[in-house]
């Protein structure tokens, strides 16, 4: 009679965690931060149709990284839960904390009992009705919930991106300043991200009931271009600046020469 194959429970949990972490690390990162008028969420996502950032309810947003089909199923389930709760009770009863707890219970259940864990990290963000209170709940693949303060980073290379964003973070910064810093943190020292590579949205205080607003490519160009009078998309180098000055001087010389010839 053959002996049954035995693996220690702690080893099983460790293997599942490593599997999920590797899957998440292969994806692109996402950053969310508080600014003076609400919450900004920015992801490196060149797709115009497969969104990583979406609206859940009036003042609640969802963001996910990892396997798209898995976190999109969670998004759809969250929308249905929020709609049912808002319809059965009141719209004010739909909040990010209860939704985050629901996600955490499901992710924890799958991680503990299923063969394959979900390769996702998700964020549930809420802007308070008064506009002064913001909530960021970061839920990991194993169901761990973290109530983030100020900003949070999801996905691959999160530690490096968080360290860079922490150096410039200011709770009272404007949308342009926050967006510029988030894009710089996502890009890192060796890359430049174009607006076509980005997906961004905000939960912003205003007169309307719904606070979610997606930033299209035109809005990104306008905001990034107006930040401190420079463009974060393609910053000019000293050589380029000197080259431009040289061309201007050359054109000026040509003008003077034409004037003398006349």
Query: Can you name the residues that pair with 126 across neighbouring β-strands?
Result: 60, 135
The 3-state DSSP class for residue 105 equals: helix
Reported as a single tens digit per residue, the pLDDT across 174-209 is 999 999 999 999 998 888 888 999 999 999 988 678
pTM of the model: 0.82
* Distance (Å, whole) CA 123 – CA 54: 11
Residue 189's pLDDT is what?
Answer: 82
Residue 229's pLDDT is what?
Answer: 37
Residue 225's pLDDT is what?
Answer: 76
Residue 39's pLDDT is what?
Answer: 95
Residue 157's pLDDT is what?
Answer: 85
Show the low-confidence residues of the chain (pLDDT under 50). 227-253, 255-262
Residue 106's pLDDT is what?
Answer: 97
């Amino acid at each position: 009679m053959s002996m049954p194959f035995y693996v220690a429970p702690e080893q099983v949990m460790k293997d599942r965690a490593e599997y999920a972490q590797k899957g998440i690390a292969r994806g692109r990162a996402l950053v969310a931060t508080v600014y003076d008028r609400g919450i900004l969420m920015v992801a490196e996502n060149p797709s115009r149709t497969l969104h990583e950032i979406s609206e859940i309810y009036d003042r609640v947003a969802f963001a996910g990284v990892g396997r798209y089909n898995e976190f999109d199923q969670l998004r759809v389930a969250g929308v249905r839960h929020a709609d049912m709760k808002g319809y059965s009770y009141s719209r004010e009863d739909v909040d990010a904390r209860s939704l985050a707890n629901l996600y955490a219970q499901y992710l924890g259940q799958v991680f503990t009992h299923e063969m394959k864990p979900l390769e996702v990290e998700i964020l549930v963000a809420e802007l308070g009705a008064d506009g002064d209170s913001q909530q960021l709940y970061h839920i990991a693949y194993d169901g761990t919930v973290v109530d983030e303060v100020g900003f949070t980073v999801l996905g691959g290379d999160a530690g490096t991106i968080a360290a860079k964003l922490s150096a410039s973070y200011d709770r009272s910064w404007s949308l342009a300043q926050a967006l510029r810093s988030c894009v710089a943190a996502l890009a890192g020292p060796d890359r430049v991200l174009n607006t076509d590579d980005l997906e961004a949205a905000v939960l912003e205080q205003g007169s309307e009931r719904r606070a979610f607003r997606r930033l299209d490519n035109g809005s990104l160009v306008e905001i990034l271009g107006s930040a401190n009078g420079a463009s974060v998309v393609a910053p000019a180098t000293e050589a380029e600046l000197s080259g431009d000055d040289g061309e201007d001087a050359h054109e000026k010389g040509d003008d003077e020469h034409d004037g003398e010839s006349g």
